[in-house]
Structure formats: structure tokens, C-alpha cells
Structure 1
């Protein structure tokens, strides 16, 4: 599928999304994840699938050159779940000395959890995923039992898998954390879940439902920042009221992320180190 020129780069629009829409306000495309792998950029995204291919699955685009703003080629849908099942919010996680893996959210047994699958290439997985986390703690079940939006963070020789928990329709949407303890990443026993959330609502700052995040380094590499969306009212949910926000994070003594408290909108904070 071809890309069309846009003022700041390229825009890619699959025609099958429009045929798959379920009505006004349908999700179409969301949760893009940009990754640099083997000299090319890859964008993994969730979308309403092509008719006859299941619903809400994860697709991938591959850059034609090393320019992230250039044209991309559609490489298809990742075969993550049996029988073309629902699989969203995917991203890549890397392990030293091991192939890359793909982490995502899916429903099995009526429960939305986190799953992981080994990648045979940047555009394919070699088998369906296995579950590594279920929403089994009370703070993961507010408004609905949900684990979604997994995103890897690496620090001090450790691999952390952070994720969103509870329903995004509530002000209690928040972030949790898994830590890889070594061993086979495809085994749930190789992951330890932190018993408490790492980032959540701040009534004092008027921030509700902070979640579905990613991490980026400052231009000089000395700082790590979290980018996430949140609402400014308890009555807002998963719609267009959410705004994109970013702030610097710290580190705990065990090397895990210290996310701090979500900052109120309208407050001036210092920009990322090295940003002109």
C-alpha cells in the first residue's frame, strides 16, 4: 500500500479500515509504537482488521529507508492469537542474547491480560503468544479487569515491563510494573509483578486516569521521560478529552523506575536535558 505526502512527512491510510468501522467514534487505528530494528524503522499499531480477518489486531509498517519521516510499506498483521483473535497495544521488548519478543494485550478466558510471543523477524512472530500477567490485584480491576499497553524500560542491567491497568473509562486507570527475573521470557515464572501501582491519579494535581505510556530519553541521553495520556476530570473516560503529557522520571535504589506524581497541566517544568 502506498503512502501519500503530508506536510511534515508521510501519511499512510489503509482503505480497509473504513470498511471495518463499526459506526461513529469507532477506534480505527491507535497505539502506534515506533521501533528501530536492523537498520529500519517499524511502526506497530492496533486497528480494526480487514473484513474476515478478525477484530482489533496488530499490524506493522516498515520504513523504506532510514528516514523515520519517509515512506513506509505495509507488512501485514502479526499472527499473535489463535484463530486471528483480538490482540492490541503491542510493542517490542529486547533481551540480551535472545531474539526480540513482542508483548501485547489480549482476551483469553474472558480476561484481558498481557501476552508475549517470540519474533522471527521484525514483521513476524514464530508462534502465538503466552500469558505472563493477569489483572489479579484489586487496583488492576477498577471498572474492569484490565492489563494492557505493555512497554519495556531498561535500566541498570534490568528489564522492566510497564503496563496500564483497570478500565480507561475510570479515573483509576494507572500503570503497573513487571520485572524480568531471568530465564525464559515466555514463562510467566520469569516475571515478578510489583504489588502496588507505579503511577496513578493525583486528585491534588487534577490528573485522572494516567496511562498508556511510553518512555523516551532526553536528547543528551542523561534523562528518561514518560509520555502518557490523562484526563483533567473524574467524569472523562476513554474519549477525545485525554491529552498527551510528558515528565521526567527518576530511579529507585533497586534500579526500577520512580515515576513520581503526575504533574498538573499548566505548570511549567524544565525541558529535557540537551533540548535547545
Structure 2
């Protein structure tokens, strides 16, 4: 029997499908398609503090992928099949930037690769835009660092980069300081997703009164394209105050590098709403619903007028609409008590992950392909087989049911034990506390898994490192044998 030989061989399943993705995934359109049922309801914030400012949220192959400022040198990512599940989705480390601090990571797909752009300060040097490239079509990576995107002369300050595909060419929009001292919007032509063909030129300066509150700023640009029209939305005024907001440029033809080719809307399109308790909404991205019929915005905002540019900002999401003249209508930022229906076409299903131990570097595994209640759980060399597929379904309060993709059984605290060394097994999913696990981030993309009934942590028992290493529960102690990452 094939499965009986598996533990003595190095056999691996070959990937069945190679994802082929064409074009640049920038511009949510969603026209002339039948809509599906809405996803599970949720309330804002979609992601809470602290890693929740300057968000980019993309939807790809039925999952959402989320990155934001981390206030460290690392980029971490969340993945969820629903917006409702994003809040409690574990963070996974995808890139160590090596900088002093990283801001505003931005995720874009070009062809079949993902590109992660981020602003970073290297030991007091000017903040510049760097880029990393994925090895394949998985937004979670792995990523390879591709260097600095040279956007301004003399290694100049350039932040908040995002891509724009226009007239068959690729451009990068970003924020930089002009000779007049104004932090402005720039655009640069790209020879490739990682290299410019010329320095940037200014297309917008903060000259209107509503762009100059608490400081004159244009930054955080993001393209929105629909019906053959191109809008470049951006953040205006300074984030230190409650009047940080969104404005819009529209491309009206001609050379995209010329300021005269862009027309600025006279008024902001998204700003504070005191009645709803939302202040300083800005630095945003747009994404489509899974069925392609809806466009949504992800942005950060504060809940108090006295809060500014720090870790108080949280990520909010809401659906946008379109005016009769074809311009975007973002509405008003909703309150955190407003219940929203999830984007159309969300399955509401659990997220599929592999669970790897930090100490052993082995993956949690349905040992010997067993499908009956009581099946063993061990660690094994990470592979592509369904025995290492685990489906995480939120049961509330930060706890998850963890079900194996091969056995369809749930990770279980055997016999309701509570003593260190208690055995874990797989059992028929039943919703009891012995099958509920709290996922708690410990940083660096790793988390602990704590059983709700026993209060013990999932543990690489006796620090095993060989395939077949045992997994048990033990008193939570924070060491690497109790730290797990999702792949």
C-alpha cells in the first residue's frame, strides 16, 4: 500500500497546478458580474493595534493578505478567507528589512510574482523605498530582497510607493520633498517592477487649504481604475492631527509624467467624521470582493481627535460606491459600532495552513495518514501532502478549532487531561473546549497554541528534531519548542 511506505521514503507530492496570473493586480473594477452572497458580518477595526497603520489589503484566490507598519524592521503578514477573520488571524514574518524602522509596506502583483515595497530608514539615512520579490505566486513568499528603488536624485528621500499601470506602461507613484519644501506626490517610469528608468517628477503639491492642516502633505497614493478612467487617490494634511484625509487626482490624457496631465479634485473625498468617532482617516488601499463585483477601501484612523501618527491608529474597511458621473464615492467613515456585511463572495470557510515548530523546523502532521478518532499527531518534514493541511476556524475570543485536511479530525486534548505532558490526538470535531486553541503572537511571525481546557501549550515534546517527533502539551514557558508559525 502506498501510504504504508511513506515514513521510510523521501517521497513528496508534486504540485498539481501551477498558478498563472497575467497583468498587474492594482485596479479593482468589478463591473457586469453577478454578485454572490455577502460574507460574515464584522465591525471595525478590521485589525487592531499596534501593527495596523498604513495598511495594504489585497484579495487573491479567495484569501485576503494584509500588511501594515510594524514599528520595527520586520514585515509581517496576515491571511484570512474573510474580513471578519482578519482581526484574529496570526501574523507571519515574511521579511526582515534590516533597517532602523519600516513603514507603509505595499503589496503588488506583476505577472506571476508579488512585489513588496516598503519605506525604511537605514541608520539615520534618508527614508527610501526598498523592494523584495516573491519566489512564486504565493503572497506569503518566500521573498528575496531586490534593493532600493532609485526614485529621486542623490539617493533622496522617497516613501509610500505604489505601482500604476497606465497606457501599457508601468509607473511608480510616491511621496517626496520638492525644492520648495513641500511634501508632494511624484511619479516615475519603471523599467521593471524593481527598477526605474528615470527619476520621478512632481504631479501634485499640497496647495489647497484642506491639504495643509497641521502640515502641508501629499502622500500614500493608490490608483483606482474603472470604466477606462484612472484616479490617483492620496492622503493629505499631516497625520499628527485629526484632519488627515483623502484627496483625488484624475489622469486626463497626455504624458503621465507631466503635472498638467492630472486634474486635482477641488474637495477631499474622505475625511474625519466626528459623529461616528473617526478621526484622521487615510493612508489606504483598495481591493475587490472575492466575486469581483464590489470595491472596498482599507484605511487607518484614530478614535480620538487628540491621537496622531502613532500606534493608536487601527485598520478599518468598508465598501465604496460610484457616482453617476463615474467618480468614486467613498462615503463617510463608519463607526466602530456599525455592523457591516462582509464582501460579496466570501466563503466564510476556515483558512488552510501548515503549522511548523520553531525549534524542530518540522510540521504538524497526521501521522501515518490515519483517519479514525484517536489518530496520532506528530511532527514530520514539511511537505505538500494533505496530512499537513490544517484548517483554522475561529470560534471566538481568540480561540480556534484546528482540523486536519486528510483525516477531517480536530486537534484534541486527549481524555481532558490537565497535567504537563498531556497527549494530543485527533478526534471527531465536537466544539468542546478540549478542541479549542488560543493563538497568541510572540513576535517574529511565531505564536503559541494554548488549549482552552488544559491551559497548556502545544509543545515539541523533549525538544525532538527528527521526523516523527512527539507533540504534547506542557506548561507554557515561551521557549522555541512552544512556538509555531503558519505556512
TM-score normalised to structure 1 length: 0.91
Structure 2: 5+ residue runs without aligned partners? 1-74, 79-89, 348-487
Secondary structure, counterpart of 2:275 in structure 1:
coil
Say what the alpha-carbon RMSD is for the aligned residues.
Answer: 1.7
1:169 alignment partner, SS class: coil
Contact 2:94 2:140 in 1 (8 A): no
Q: What do residues 124-179 of structure 1 show as CA deviations (whole Å, max 9, x unaligned)?
A: 00111000000000000000000000000011110000000000001000000000
Is the CA contact 1:166–1:172 (under 8 Å) kept in the aligned structure 2? Answer: yes
Counterpart CA distance in 2 for 1:68 and 1:166 is: 32
Structure possessing the higher relative contact order (Cα contacts under 8 Å, 6 or more residues apart)? 2
Q: Say whether residues 1:32 and 2:105 are aligned partners.
A: yes
Matched, 1:121 2:192: yes
Deviation at 1:271, TM superposition (A): 0.8
Are residues 8 and 144 of structure 1, via their aligned partners in 2, closer, same or farther at CA, if it must alter by over 3 Å? closer
Deviation at 1:49, TM superposition (A): 3.0
Is structure 2 residue 186 aligned with structure 1 residue 103? no
Deviation at 1:216, TM superposition (A): 0.3
* Partner Cα separation in structure 2 for residue 144 and residue 70 of structure 1: 37
1:11 matched to which residue of 2? 94
**Residue 199 of structure 1 aligns with which residue?**
270
Q: 2:307 aligns with which of 236, 248, 266?
A: 236
Contact 2:204 2:259 in 1 (8 A): yes
**Distance in 2 separating the partners of 1:174 and 1:250:** 18
1:81 aligns with 2:152: yes
**In the alignment, structure 1 residue 148 sits paired with structure 2 residue 219:** yes
SS at match of 1:199: coil
**Shift of residue 9, structure 1, vs aligned partner:** 5.1
Q: Secondary structure at the match of 1:83?
A: helix
The SS at the match of 2:240 is coil
d(CA) in 1 for partners of 2:122, 2:164: 24
Contact 1:10 1:70 in 2 (8 A): no
Query: Following the alignment from structure 1 to structure 2, what is the Cα–Cα distance between the partners of residues 96 and 186?
Result: 12
Give TM-score scaled by structure 2 length.
Answer: 0.52
**Counterpart-to-counterpart distance in 2, 1:10 and 1:227:** 21
Match for residue 47 of structure 1 among 120, 125, 149: 120
Q: Retained in 1: the 8 A contact 2:132–2:143?
A: yes
Contact 1:8 1:69 in 2 (8 A): no
Conserved? CA contact 1:9–1:70, under 8 Å: no
Is the 8 Å Cα contact of residues 112 and 148 (structure 1) preserved in structure 2? yes
TM-superposed CA distance for 1:10, in Å, is 4.6
Q: 1:274 and 1:254, CA in 2 relative to 1: closer, same or farther beyond 3 A?
A: same
Indicate the SS of the match to 2:274. coil
Larger Rg: 2
Match of 1:25 in 2: none
Deviations 1:192-249 (A, max 9, x none): 0000000000011010000000000001000000000000100000000000000000
Consecutive aligned runs of 4 or more in structure 1 exceeding 4 Å deviation = 6-10
Unpaired segments of 5 or more residues in structure 1? 22-27
Separation (CA, whole Å) in 2 of partners of 1:11 and 1:251: 35
Query: What SS does structure 2 have at the residue aligned with 1:204?
Result: helix
Query: Structure 2 vs 1, CA of residues 219 and 94 (structure 1 numbering), >3 Å: closer, same or farther?
Result: same
Once the two structures are superposed, what CA deviation does each residue of 1:36-75 show, in whole Å capped at 9, x if it has no partner? Answer: 1121110111111367xx4110000100111111200000
